[in-house]
Homo-oligomer: A and B are copies of this chain.
Amino acid sequence: MTGIRAKQKEKTRRALINAALSQLSPQTAFSSLSLREVAREANIAPTSFYRHFQNMDELGLTLVDEGGLTLRQLLRQGRQRLADGGSVIRISVDIFMDFISNNRSVFRLLLQEHSGTSKEFRLAIAREIHHFKSELADYLHNERRLHEDLARLQADAMVRVMFSIGADALDLPASDKAALIEDTILELRMIARGATALQTSFNATKGEAGAVKKRAESAPKGA
Contact = CB atoms under 8 A, between A and B. Distances in A.
One complex includes copies of this chain to the number of 2
Interface in A23-56: 26-29, 31-32
A157 interface: yes
A96 to B, nearest CB: 14
Contact of A31 (B29, B114, B187, B191): B29
A150 B108 CA distance: 29
A197 B199 CA distance: 13
A223 B165 contact: yes
Contacts of A182: 215
Instruction: Say what secondary structure dominates the interface of chain A.
Output: helix
A222 B168 contact: yes
Interface in A151-199: 153-154, 156-157, 160-161, 163-165, 167-169, 171-172, 176-177, 179-180, 182-184, 186-187, 189-195, 197-198
29 contacts: A26-B117, A27-B117, A28-B117, A29-B117, A31-B31, A112-B115, A114-B167, A115-B115, A153-B186, A153-B187, A156-B183, A157-B157, A160-B165, A161-B161, A168-B223, A172-B222, A177-B222, A179-B223, A183-B215, A187-B223, A189-B198, A190-B191, A191-B191, A191-B194, A192-B194, A193-B193, A193-B194, A194-B194, A197-B197
